[in-house]
Amino acid sequence: MRIAIAGATGLVGSSLARAAEAAGHQVVPLAKETGFDILRPDGLVEALEGADAVVDVMQSPTLDEAEATAFFTEASRNLGTAAAQAGVGRSVVLSIIGVDRIAATDEEAGTGFDGYYRAKYAQEQATAAHAPSPHVVRSTQFHDIARQAIGWGRDGDRTVVPDLVTQPVAVDAMVQVLLGVATGEIAGDLNEVGGPGRESLTAMSTAFARSTGDTVEVTAGPVGDLVRDGVLLPGEGAHLVGPSFAEWLAGVAAATAAR
Ligand SMILES: NC(=O)c1ccc[n+]([C@@H]2O[C@H](COP(=O)([O-])OP(=O)(O)OC[C@H]3O[C@@H](n4cnc5c(N)ncnc54)[C@H](OP(=O)(O)O)[C@@H]3O)[C@@H](O)[C@H]2O)c1
């Protein structure tokens, strides 16, 4: 198959491109770096012609709710409209588990990024409105959130990490589900994907810091009722794919030691 990937140069996009090529598919990489700014979509229809599927794994330049909403809705409209004009058979957008419930309430979920989650839900809606044969894959957080979270509230040798209840997933495993939905091997308009085990983000960040020799003191930050109730966790029927966080972390530690 010919699969266009919007965001092909990013963390998820490059993993998806490797997986698609390894499975024998042809990839059309779309990113500013490859000459396609989806916000200025000149030449996009031509680039998408002949593609069987398009997968949107773009990221907004900011996590601010208003700016991210504006980016995702415009990018999804441009990509979806161009895909429809080009006759692309199938569209897939990567989203996050829980965005629908967080968008449906004014209650603070306490993820630390509630506004961004609402923007991701707006992206799903814009894809549904404009893209041909739209499919949504909602993922849990990636294992690397353990590293990122250390920096969110860091002040010297102390940091506060919101005690999110999550079921983190490895990017390279998650993209196999994205690919399956893009090819049609995985059925359903909405699929969820997560890792094999439930974790506390505070504990994950502590373990990450220790495994890399960082002595930062990690304190649990508050979260809202929605997070405590499991809004970020995969539901019944989700694709649960390994490795576990501990296995992933062992790999990171081994790679760090080998350097
Ligand atoms: N991190 C998580 O735990 C998690 C969990 C679930 C879902 N996700 C979702 O995964 C998606 C991808 O994340 P990521 O970490 O792979 O992001 P990333 O590494 O920042 O990559 C973003 C990609 O988007 C492209 N892009 C940005 N603006 C563009 C534009 N105007 N036109 C064309 N391409 C553009 C970038 O390429 P250029 O800069 O070259 O344009 C890059 O290829 C996000 O939507 C995120 O919400 C993340």
pLDDT of 253: 83
Ligand 1: residue whose CA is nearest its atom 12: 57
Confidence at residue 135, expressed as pLDDT on a 0 to 100 scale: 98
Q: How far is the CA of 239 from the centre of ligand 1 (A)?
A: 22
Kindly give the number of the ligand 1 atom that is closest to the alpha carbon of 145. 3
Query: Is 54 within 8 Å of 16 (Cβ atoms)?
Result: no
Per-residue pLDDT, 255: 85
| Ligand 1 pocket residue status of 208, Cβ below 6 Å | no
pLDDT tens by residue, 146-165: 999 999 999 999 999 999 99
**Considering only CA atoms, which of 55, 68, 60 is closest in space to residue 13?**
55
Report pLDDT for 116: 97
Q: Whose CA is nearest to atom 25 of ligand 1?
A: 7
Domains, the chain: 2-258 (3.40.50.720)
Q: What is the 3-state secondary structure (H, E, C) of 109-168?
A: CCCCCHHHHHHHHHHHHHHHHHCCCEEEEEECCECCHHHHHHHHCEECCEEEEECCEECC
Q: What percent of the chain has pLDDT over 70?
A: 100
User: What pLDDT is attached to residue 75?
Assistant: 98
Residue 154 β-bridge partners: 159
For the chain, residues with pLDDT lower than 50 are none
120 touches ligand 1 (CB under 6 Å):
yes
Question: What local confidence, expressed as pLDDT, does residue 243 receive?
Answer: 97
229 lines ligand 1 (CB under 6 A): no
